[in-house]
A = this chain, B = another copy of it.
Amino acid sequence: MSVDAQADKAKNIKTLTTIQSEVEDSNGLALSVDCVIFGFDENKLKVLLIRSDLKKYLGKWSLLGDLVRPNEDLDGAAYRILKKRTGLSDVYLEQVHTFGSINRHPAGRVVTVAYCSLINVQHHKLNILENELHWHDVTNVTDLAFDHQEIFDTCYRRLQKRIQEHPLGFNLLPKKFSLRDLQNLYEAILNVKMDRRNFRKKFFSMDFLIDIDEMEQDVPHRPGKLYKFNYEKYEKKKKKWVGIDF
């Protein structure tokens, strides 16, 4: 390892040099984890990105990632990144896909495992400003560094599919939310408009919402009721569906 690389490593900063040295140390193969961290704010779906510090991609945004350490497993590495960048533990995290094109990383052969994560943006707001982190509207995410655009697209499509089949969306909302919040979330993620009455009927008939008998505050119109999601009930009732549908 070069002196530069050692110095960088001491500062716990990953530059191209440090990564390159780690790749070289391991006979040309390294393994990383990249996290696509979604949030929901101002009725828009957001993704957390960081400015690339690599010359080759200067000015471009990239996903949050790091090399997997010798003594941690893949999920562990992803949780570590989440914790470091958002301060949050206990977040929704799902492995999505592994990307291993030969030349995907300038430092050498770096295979990366992509994770999709959903967080409630109100729960952190902290570790953001100090770094070069930024929440981007998913509709404006283009031209990311490395192959991160492809990784992001894959994770976004996965999220769109998953949210229609499982109640993941609640991870993006505060504990208490209105039905309007919920519908805005679905409309933002799926990029569609839905009928308010049918949406409501759908969710009430599923019977996974708990009416907590509180109302929205400080809205300039009739306040809506607030609900919590009933995870236990969902776990018990979730469908074991068999059918053909394509």
Interface string of A142-178 (1 = CB under 8 A from B): 0000000000000000000000111100000000000
Are A73 and B98 interface neighbours, CB within 8 A? no
CA A245 to CA B166, docked complex, whole Å:
8
Are A70 and B28 interface neighbours, CB within 8 A? yes
* Partner-contacting stretch, out of A42-50, A79-87, A235-243: A235-243
Copies held by the complex: 2
Cβ of A127 to closest chain B Cβ, rounded Å? 26
A113: CB under 8 A from chain B? yes
Are A246 and B167 interface neighbours, CB within 8 A? yes
A218: CB under 8 A from chain B? no
Are B190 and A242 interface neighbours, CB within 8 A? yes
Q: Which residue of B lies closest to A165 (CB)?
A: B246
A26: CB under 8 A from chain B? yes
CA A68 to CA B102, docked complex, whole Å:
11
- Docked complex: A214-246 residues within 8 A CB-CB of B: 234, 238-239, 241-246
Residues of chain B with a CB closer than 8 A to A186's CB = 244
A123: CB under 8 A from chain B? no
Take A25-B27, A29-B31, A111-B31 as given contacts and tell me if A102 and B164 are in contact as well, using a CB distance cutoff of 8 Å. no
Cβ of A185 to closest chain B Cβ, rounded Å? 11
Q: Contact check: which of B100, B190, B206 meets A68 at CB < 8 Å?
A: B100
CB<8 Å pairs between A and B, sample of 11: A26-B29, A29-B70, A74-B98, A74-B100, A74-B111, A167-B246, A186-B244, A192-B242, A203-B244, A206-B246, A241-B245
